[in-house]
Amino acid sequence: MVKKPRGVADILPGETERWQYLEQVIRELTRVYGYREIRTPIFEFTELFQRGVGEDTDIVMKEMYSFRDRRGRSLTLRPEGTAGVVRAFIENGLHKWPQPVKLYYVGPMFRYDRPQTGRYRQFHQFGAEVFGTAEPVADAEVICLLMDFYARVGLRGLQLEINSVGCVSCRQALVAALREYFRGKTSGLCSHCLERVERNPLRILDCKEEGCRELLKEAPVPLDFLCGGCQSHFAAVQKELAACGVSFLVNGHLVRGLDYYTGTAFEVLVPGIGAQSAIGGGGRYDKLVETCGGPPTPGVGFAVGLERTLLALAAQGVELPGAAAPEVFVAFAGERAAGRVPAILRWLRAAGIATERDYSGRGLKGQLKQANKRAARWVVIVGEAELDRGNVSVRAMETGEQVEVPEVALVSWLKERLGQ
């Protein structure tokens, strides 16, 4: 037997209902916030991520699933959603739509990392992006949407951390200070960060290696290098968040693992799910559209890890809807009654009533046992004597009460009692 590769999962019935529930919350919430869905390809040209996410990031250096197609072109399974959305935004001329353009996506992402609880090679993200406005209200809105998502699904005790990593101009001074600092500490750095000192010292800030993390404690932080514009933007984001009633913590050490962030950066942490406690994050990326070949267009967005959201919900004991029991089970006794069952099943199903039947030729007693096992609320019993009267029997499984109902009135009779 061929087994599945490491780090991927089968999502089986029993669990798919939980996924559908998250997706339902996502659809409802994005609707009220006015975000529209975008679906982009699972694979893109590798160059998109090299340019967008950044050559020096862990994602591009170590974690991409890249392969050559039959014509020798390098393609990559998307490791994150924003780069593809930005590409689609440019390629389809969405910059000519009335701005801002507010989009969301849900789908699988792929990263080659060491699998552990909460970290997989194929995982799923819900993400949202706002293009075409650099206003701090947009930063605050995406954060509100993110926090509302967690609240709606029932998560508690989350920690929202925010920071500003500065724009291109304040970044120059920061990069110079970081380079200066790390040049004197090269013996403590991992091999990747050694290269990053000259090429892109910002990326050392999110290295996960123990030695590098130790050095980071004393390293210059982005907040100390913000220009006037970035300072007032960051202050306005905080004011707006407070006005929305969203509590947060400013963490000067917070940086995100992707090159494209400018200004606001944020992350949401949840205690109790182990080492992989980040369940979502995002920030502003005002240069990304240009970097990918589009007209200057500011953007801000987030991505939520759905597996980690489910892990957190389980850790907090939040019950999500499970498999729904059938509302009705259709049983019968006798040859002539059996002939009526297909029509009755079709009427009920066409009316939106979840209806089951027996498939193995059991007698009436066996069928009723089945209905009980499946936890059906009602059993329709098609019997020959009742048929002669134009009726069927209906039994409420909870009380055992049974009445005869005219066959032609069955659907409306049940709908009324099922509250549909």
The answer to whether residue 303 forms part of the interface with ligand AMP (CB under 6 A) is yes
Rounded to a whole number, what is the distance in angstroms from the first to the last CA of the chain?
A: 46
Q: Which residue of this chain has its Cβ atom nearest to ligand AMP in the complex?
A: 305
- The Cα–Cα gap between 318 and 31 comes to 24
Strand-pair category, 328-333 with 378-383: parallel
**Which tokens belong to 49?**
């991520």
Give the chain's largest Cα–Cα span: 96
The answer to whether residue 301 forms part of the interface with ligand AMP (CB under 6 A) is no
What length does the chain have?
420
Minimum CB separation of residue 396 from ligand AMP in Å reads: 45
The answer to whether residue 100 forms part of the interface with ligand AMP (CB under 6 A) is no
Minimum CB separation of residue 115 from ligand AMP in Å reads: 8
Beta-carbon contacts of residue 190 (< 8 Å; ≥ 6 apart):
207, 209, 211, 212
Minimum CB separation of residue 307 from ligand AMP in Å reads: 5
The answer to whether residue 153 forms part of the interface with ligand AMP (CB under 6 A) is no
Among 15, 113, 135, 290, binds ligand AMP (CB under 6 A): 113
The answer to whether residue 285 forms part of the interface with ligand AMP (CB under 6 A) is no
Q: How many residues bind ligand AMP (CB under 6 A)?
A: 17
The answer to whether residue 126 forms part of the interface with ligand AMP (CB under 6 A) is no
The answer to whether residue 123 forms part of the interface with ligand AMP (CB under 6 A) is yes
Among 26, 64, 204, 279, binds ligand AMP (CB under 6 A): 279
Q: Which of 50, 117, 92 lies closest to 272, judged by CA? A: 117
Minimum CB separation of residue 298 from ligand AMP in Å reads: 19
Assign 3-class secondary structure to 346-385: HHHHHCCCCEEECCCCCCHHHHHHHHHHCCCCEEEEEEHH
Among 280, 283, 299, 326, binds ligand AMP (CB under 6 A): 280
- The Cα–Cα gap between 282 and 143 comes to 9
Minimum CB separation of residue 79 from ligand AMP in Å reads: 8
The answer to whether residue 84 forms part of the interface with ligand AMP (CB under 6 A) is no
Q: Within positions 206 to 265, which residues make up the interface with ligand AMP, using CB under 6 A?
A: 257
CB atoms closer than 10 angstroms to residue 221 = 18
R_g of the chain computed on alpha carbons: 28
Binding site for ligand AMP (CB under 6 A): 80, 111, 113, 118-120, 123, 125, 257, 278-281, 303, 305, 307-308
